[in-house]
Chains A and B, each alone.
Chain A
Amino acid sequence: MGLARQLSLVASERPDQAALIEARGGATLRYGELMQLANGLADRLAAAGLQPGQRLLVEASGRSRTVAWLLAGWLRGAVVVPLSPDLSSRERHFFTEHAGAALAVSAAAEQPGSTGVQPGSPLPRLPGGAGAAAILYTSGSTGDPKGVELSHRALLANAARVAQRYGLGASTRFLSVLPLFHGHGLVVTCLAPLLAGGTVVLDGPFDAFAASRFWSAIDGHGVTVFSSVPPVLRLLVALCPPRSPVASSPLRFGLCASASLPPSLQASFEGRFGCPVGNSYGLTETAAWCSYGEPDPQLRAPGSVGRPEPGALRVLAPPDQVGEIQVRGPTVMTGYFRNPEATRRAFDGEWLRTGDLGRLDPEGRLFLAGRRRDVINHGGFSVYPEEVDEVLVEHPCVSQAATVERASDTHGEAPVAFVVLCGPVDSAALRAHCRGRLAPHKIPVEFLLIDDLPRGATHKVCKDQLRAMLNGQEA
Chain B
Amino acid sequence: MSDVREIIRAYILRELAPDLPGGQLLDDTSLFGPRGVIDSLAIISLVAHLDQAFAFEVQAHEITEENFRNVDALVRFVASKQGPQS
Chain A interface residues toward B at CB < 8 A: 85-86, 206-209, 211-212, 215-216, 231, 234-235, 238-241, 379, 410-411, 426-428, 431, 440, 445
Contacts and interface: CB of A to CB of B under 8 A. Distances in A.
Top 7 nearest A-B pairs by Cβ distance? A208-B40, A86-B34, A208-B32, A238-B44, A208-B43, A410-B41, A428-B19
Contact of A239 (B18, B32, B44, B65): B44
Given A208-B63, A209-B65, A211-B60, 7 more contacts: A86-B34, A212-B63, A212-B64, A234-B44, A241-B59, A427-B19, A440-B34
Contacts of A238: 44, 47
A209 B68 contact: yes
Interface of B: 18-21, 32-34, 38-41, 43-44, 47, 59-65, 68
A239 B32 CA distance: 16
6 contacts: A208-B38, A209-B64, A212-B64, A215-B60, A238-B47, A241-B60
A127 B38 CA distance: 43
Given A209-B65, A212-B61, A428 B21 contact: yes
A1 to B, nearest CB: 34
Nearest to B48: A238
Contacts of B38: 208
B21 A235 contact: no
A235 B41 contact: yes
A209 B32 contact: yes
A235 B34 contact: no
Contacts of A445: 39
Given A235-B43, A235-B44, A212 B32 contact: no
Nearest to A234: B41
B33 to A, nearest CB: 7
Contacts of B65: 209
Contacts of A208: 32-33, 38, 40-41, 43, 63, 68
Contacts, number: 59
A239 B63 contact: yes
Nearest to B38: A208
Contact of A411 (B20, B41, B47, B60): B41
B14 to A, nearest CB: 14
B19 A410 contact: no
A238 B47 CA distance: 10
A358 B61 CA distance: 40
A409 to B, nearest CB: 9
B49 to A, nearest CB: 13
A239 B60 contact: yes
A388 to B, nearest CB: 16
A80 B34 CA distance: 24
A424 B32 CA distance: 29
B43 A239 contact: yes
Contacts of B33: 207-208
Nearest to B67: A209
In this complex, which of A206, A207, A431 has the most chain B Cβ atoms within 10 angstroms of its Cβ?
A207
A419 B59 CA distance: 41
Nearest to A439: B34
Nearest to A426: B19
A389 to B, nearest CB: 19
Contacts of B19: 426-428, 431
Contacts of B20: 428
In this complex, which of B32, B61, B62 has the most chain A Cβ atoms within 10 angstroms of its Cβ?
B61
Nearest to B18: A427
A279 B21 CA distance: 40
B60 A207 contact: no
Given A428-B21, A440-B34, A207 B41 contact: no
In this complex, which of A208, A215, A241, A410 has the most chain B Cβ atoms within 10 angstroms of its Cβ?
A208
A411 B41 CA distance: 8
